[in-house]
Amino acid sequence: MSEYEIVIKSFMPIYILIGGSILSLLMDWLLNEEKNKHALPSITLLTLLLSAFSVWNRPDPALFPGNPAMFYFGSYYVFFALTSIAASIIVVLAAWKDMELELSLGVFYALLMLANIGIFVIGASNNLIPLYVGFEVLSISTYAMIGFRKKSRSGAEAAIKYFLLGALSSGIILFGMSLYYGATHTLQMNSTVAAALVSSGSSPNAFGLFTMAVLVAGVSFKIAAVPFHVWVPDVYRGAPLSVTNFLAIGSKAGGFAFLFKLFFVALLTIKAGWAPVWAGLALLTMVIGNLAALPQTSVTRILAYSSIGHVGYILIAMVAFADGSTELAVVGALYHILANVFMKGTAFVVVLIVVLTKGGDTLDDFKGLGKRDPLVAFFMSIALLSLAGVPPFAGFFGKFFLFYAAVDSGNMYLAVVGIIMSATSLFYYARIIHVMYFYEPVDDASDQSQPRFLVLLVALLLANLALSLGAIFYTRSIVDFATQVAQEFFV
């Protein structure tokens, strides 16, 4: 294969997504709305699947031209690309019904595909420029998706809020990156270049510390770590629910891809500097996220705070990574991010179903769901138990890996706080289950069965169970994969 061919093939998934988004914009213009209602999501699904297929059939990443190469399409890339495609498929299937009445739907699906490109590029970058470009592509498409429902005031408000704060954090990140460049005189990320951030021994020098502080603040916004989480409940509540779903599962995975690239690769040498900062943020995020969820009455807000809590669990991996349990930390983080896609995805799809039939997302609207629609209530209960970390669902194994990584790296306190907080979280998850089963429906609104939703929910449940069975029977393969990913960090 010539170099040219390798580049083309490596970028093929991204080209396919670009093609798909152009096609959907054209269709918006060419076909009428009635046809587009079904044609657009189908085209998007097809594009996503094609793209996933070509991610799988990528050429050997080591052959990518350039010295040093700007991109590396390795296991890390594959994991995040496939995770984001899985998340997007969930979102498309949910949006099929959720967004069907919107005008210029083609724009929405085009934006969704573009957001995927952002995550792909983040996963593959070896250089700060493409890394940042990917990050912005992801961010800007999500800003637009949040405000997509033009007549909805809360949507517009959420979009503006997210945009203003996002712009602020982008600025902070750029500042951090320029500091990095100032210190190292390169934008290439690898573990040896970053030596310029370290003074004698292994402690970071002033340059390194400032770079680190600024980048921590910038990235924390994207992944919504406390105290940079304040936007989450408002934006999750304001955005259309299928977009909220994408924010919680897809965009979040992208944020973590960005975080790990920056800190595990670019700033690896100064891990002694950032480990305590992330430890503090992980503690804060776990505690505040889970406590703040307790008094909420809107299920969307409960889930919003619960996803803040989950960010806290995943941040444990940062500390464990820095303190030597490299592979375990990677296993925990990646596994939990993937598990999050399935369980949080299910929960938001169920919220969407309830909102579509009842018009609201408060606990009152969930009353009697167990009788109105036993299947949906069942899937919701499984998803919530999984989120709470009750075995044998995937959420349990994610937490088990993470807490074990904490224990293994000698940070017992993180595991203890995590375990206590996940027990606390059971209270608000159990409240939803309680409301669904132990209360009579407020009125007799009968839910129209949506076969498409049911198929999606079944698929998500199966994925959840498959993931937990994978944890039991294929732990070694999971660990091997994580080892590969970790080796990519240390190039």
Partner 1 sequence: MASEILLGKTVLISPFIGAVIVSILAFLHYSRGNKHEGHDSGKHDTHEEHTSIHYTRFENVVSTFGILSILVSWLSMVLLAINYLPGEEHETLQSQFGFFGFKEGGTPDIPFGLLIDPLSVYMGLIVTTLALLIHIYAREYMHGDAGYSRFFATFNFFTGVMLTLVFSTSFLELFIFWELVGLSSYLLIGFWFYKPAAAHAAKKAFLYNKIGDITLLAGFLMLYRYTRTLDFVELPAKMEALTDQQIAIVAVLIFGGVIGKSAQFPLYTWLADAMEGPTPVSAILHSSTMVKAGIYMVARVFFIYYEAHDGHNVFAGAEWALTVFAWIGAITALLAGLQALVENEIKRILAYSTVSQIGYMAIALGTGGKTAAMFHLLSHATFKALLFLTAGAVIHAVHTNNIWEMGGLRKKIPKTFWPMLIGATALAGFPGFSGFWSKDAVLLAAYESKVPGHLVIYYLGALTAFITALYSTRFIYVVFFRTPDPEHKEHVEKAHDGGFFLTTPSIILGVLVLIESILFIPVFNFEHWLNEILEPEVKPEAINYVVAGSSAIIVLLGIFVGLVLYHWKPELRTSLYNIDAFNWIANEFIAKRYRIDQVLYWIANAPVMWVAGILQSIDLKIIDRTIIDTWIVKGSLQLAKISDVFDQGFIDGIVNGVWQIFLYFGRQFRKLQTGLVSNYATIFAATLVLFLTYVNFLVLFK
Q: In this structure, are residues 124 and 73 in contact, taking their beta carbons and an 8 Å threshold? A: yes
Report the residue number, 59 or 392, with the smaller CB distance to partner 1. Answer: 392
SS3 222: helix
Q: Which residues in the 300-329 window bind partner 1 by CB under 8 A? A: 327-328
* Cα dihedral 198, 214, 172, 285 in deg (nearest 10): 140
Report the residue number, 168 or 458, with the smaller CB distance to partner 1. Answer: 168
Does the protein bind partner 1 through residue 63 (CB under 8 A)? no
Does the protein bind partner 1 through residue 150 (CB under 8 A)? no
Alpha-helix runs per DSSP H in 294-373: 299-322, 326-358, 363-366, 369-372
Any bridge partners for residue 71, and if so which? Answer: 125
Report the residue number, 148 or 221, with the smaller CB distance to partner 1. Answer: 221
Give the C-alpha distances (Å, rounded to integers) separating 182 from 134, 207, 208. Answer: 22, 8, 10
Any bridge partners for residue 127, and if so which? Answer: 188
Does the protein bind partner 1 through residue 440 (CB under 8 A)? yes
User: Nearest to residue 345, comparing CAs of 477, 224, 248, 473?
Assistant: 248
Residue span binding partner 1 (CB under 8 A) among the ranges 36-44, 105-113, 229-237, 336-344 = 229-237
Number of residues this chain uses to bind partner 1 (CB under 8 A)? 65
CB of 333 to partner 1, least distance (A): 15
Q: Quote the DSSP letter at residue 265.
A: I
Q: In this structure, are residues 262 and 199 in contact, taking their beta carbons and an 8 Å threshold? A: no
Q: Quick one: tokens of 212?
A: 């680190």
Report the residue number, 97 or 161, with the smaller CB distance to partner 1. Answer: 161
For partner 1, what does the binding mask look like between residues 251 and 290, x meaning CB under 8 A? ----------------------x---x-------------
Report the residue number, 106 or 176, with the smaller CB distance to partner 1. Answer: 176
User: Nearest to residue 108, comparing CAs of 51, 165, 36, 166?
Assistant: 36
Report the residue number, 116 or 220, with the smaller CB distance to partner 1. Answer: 220
Does the protein bind partner 1 through residue 209 (CB under 8 A)? yes
Q: In this structure, are residues 424 and 350 in contact, taking their beta carbons and an 8 Å threshold? A: no
SS3 441: coil
Does the protein bind partner 1 through residue 195 (CB under 8 A)? no
Report the residue number, 44 or 296, with the smaller CB distance to partner 1. Answer: 296
Place of tokens 């018009």: 359
CB of 123 to partner 1, least distance (A): 25
Report the residue number, 109 or 207, with the smaller CB distance to partner 1. Answer: 207
Does the protein bind partner 1 through residue 155 (CB under 8 A)? no
SS3 298: strand
Kindly tell me the burial class for residue 473, based on how many C-beta atoms sit within 10 Å of its own C-beta (0-12, 13-18, 19 or more).
exposed
Does the protein bind partner 1 through residue 234 (CB under 8 A)? yes
Give contact residues for partner 1 (rule: CB under 8 A). Answer: 153-154, 156-157, 160-161, 164-165, 168-169, 172, 203, 205-206, 209-210, 212-214, 216-217, 220-221, 227-228, 230-231, 234, 273, 277, 327-328, 368, 371, 385, 390-392, 396, 400, 403-404, 407-408, 412, 415-416, 419-420, 423, 426-427, 430, 434, 437-438, 440-441, 471-473, 475-476, 479, 483
